[in-house]
Structure 1
């Protein structure tokens, strides 16, 4: 079950802070390096860059999303949830954040709350990955159905 849920988390890599997309990282080379390593699965190399990017700019949505993805990739779901909750306190209308938080909730097994946050993605019309968020929602629902069918 945990493996299937982590596949959902892996699906996030294409829908938020991504080194191949135009993100608002400006001249934040550390974030760009961390994202590049994260996309390549080089988690040990990604972490110090992502941590430095967040330390340098704690209110960077991209840095928070990227570090949250790193936490999910390393199976540290509690840290991802905590980081996303903190970020929601000052960034309450981000489709990317809603999507990532919902995926983390799904991985943690909090299906009902995850589905509520997937629904909130639609509140951000500027978020360019609504279709990916819907696919993540569907994967979460499929996991709920799968788990319900288990004895």
Structure 2
């Protein structure tokens, strides 16, 4: 049995969620959490906590939005604040991981898979979360649990 990890793509109005499979090999998109106001995070955090419990997640990988020149901007500051909230609320380690180009790659994957435009919007965030998590997992193999 491997640790299960969660990947998050934190956006201004949505959070894409992905989890690793039970073998720690692949990341799968789970859902997109949508909020009415970008600043109201209580329900978003509660849903993430429920998914952590459901999937028995032990670590979170949160996409860090870097600029193409590797600098950090306002979205990165908001993501860092969200990370602190997550760590406080869940007690889990939250790793920041470069998410550059994941939304563009998600769009490309969905288009090449024949997903119609109206359905891509609802899937793109959890697909980006899966790409963030998969990238991290490829660089950091999940340890076996005894």
Higher relative contact order (CA 8 A, sep 6+): 2
| Higher helix fraction (1 or 2) | 1
| Higher strand fraction (1 or 2) | 2
What's the TM-score, normalizing by structure 2? 0.28
What's the TM-score, normalizing by structure 1? 0.28
